[in-house]
A and B are shown apart, each in its own frame.
Chain A
């Protein structure tokens, strides 16, 4: 049973549109992450947060932005979608302790036409 939810699961949208990918978790985790992954390729960290009002950029430069106003919610926004943004976006959360693994959502597969 999923404790971290991503919506939408699939999104096809035209160039220039503004989009927001939603990610919510019910575990009270402070740490949340956004990864970008193309098929068969590695996971690239694009944004992370270690608590409310904290956001950091990851190792892969991204035109997206994130916000963390509530612990459970970590949305990712693209102001103007382009075909180069076509990819899978995976959200994850972590309590940060040894006994708690990183939990992944099911991902959003974005296609920009």
Chain B
């Protein structure tokens, strides 16, 4: 089966940088997604990493190390609207199965 772990909660200050970690133990890894979810809404796509390294998209960056079973999402210049749950999801089973981690609830404060 899949074991995907994230910290439950994090708090950060507006304008700061925060790093949300995700570790996984899976068989047949194909890729890793990061999603943002506000309460009561469907998740929205942030990034998808297949190869090792850092991918940057504006204020959001995502890093992957397949050998370590580790990824992180980096959020820069935090805004109040970034307060949400951040979910990592791992693709396995030849790219057919997609399993989400426990999610990290981020609270951005003034």
Contact = CB atoms under 8 A, between A and B. Distances in A.
Interface of A: 31, 33, 35, 39-40, 42-45, 48, 50, 56, 58-59, 90, 92, 94, 96, 98, 101-107
B102 A94 contact: no
A56 B43 CA distance: 22
B110 interface: no
Contacts, number: 59
Interface of B: 1-2, 31, 33, 35, 39, 42-45, 48, 50, 87, 89, 94-103, 105
Of B45, B98, B105, chain A has the most CB atoms within 10 Å of the CB of: B98
B42 A107 contact: yes
A35 B101 CA distance: 12
A37 to B, nearest CB: 9
B33 A101 contact: yes
Contact of A56 (B1, B45, B95, B97): B97
